[in-house]
Amino acid sequence: MSELEEAWAVALAHAEAQARAAGRSDLVEYLALRTSNDLLRRTGIEWINTTFEVLAGEANRHGASIQIARDDEHRFRVGNATMVGSLLTLSFGVRKLSVEAGWPRRPNDGFVRGGGLASANVKHFGIRSASESLLLVLSSNGAPEWVVLEEKSGGRIEVDQSKLRQHIDLLLAKK
């Protein structure tokens, strides 16, 4: 968590305490939901980044030479909205796989489409057809879950470790 995120969490906790003291249960509920959603977002983004890093590490232990870089102050566009979050870049020779994940932080940043908590893009440099747009949603048991947004059908496919491994395999594939 960055210093700004820590300061934001402290400010939200202070605002919630003030609202509670003033008897503003509506505001208390909103701030509690906001805090809960931010935790779900951070957890989901950390999971996807850590999973890709672990998979790259496994590949490296088997002879690959994947270089890993991470930027935790990344901004990117999804439609008309600006997401703020992280950029994970996995490089293998001239091939590159980037994972950008985040959510809007300010009102003028817009909103996450499709009822999601956060958005992510998994991009293969030079292989646009293999790139995917992801949405962080709540599963039926209330846990955060990444899904692939199917452009043609509008359907959603759950993202798990094996799905992310396919991206690593494509990064390492010899053509």
Q: Which of 77-86, 120-129, 144-153 has the lowest mean pLDDT?
A: 144-153
**Number of other residues whose CB lies within 10 A of the CB of residue 112:** 21
Please report the pLDDT score of residue 155 as a whole number: 75
Chain centroid, CA 41 distance in Å: 7
In this prediction, residue 174 carries a pLDDT of: 73
- What per-residue confidence (pLDDT) applies to 117? 95
The strand pair at 118-124 and 95-103 is best described as antiparallel
Assign 4 a pLDDT band (cuts: 50, 70, 90).
low
Least confident span in 7-16, 30-39, 63-72, 117-126:
7-16
pLDDT(8) > 70: no
67-78 sheet: strands from edge to edge? 67-78, 81-92, 95-103, 118-124, 132-138, 144-149, 156-158
For the segment 59-104, what is each residue's pLDDT rounded down to a tens digit?
Answer: 999 999 999 999 999 999 999 999 999 999 999 999 999 999 999 9
Give the pLDDT of residue 175: 59
Cα distance between residue 30 and residue 112, in whole Å: 18
- Residues of the chain with pLDDT > 70, as a percent, come to 91
Which token pair is 39? 């935790």
Q: What is the rounded CA–CA span in Å between residue 118 and residue 111? A: 9
pTM of the model: 0.85
Question: Average of pLDDT values for 127-131?
Answer: 91
Q: Is the pLDDT of residue 1 over 60?
A: no
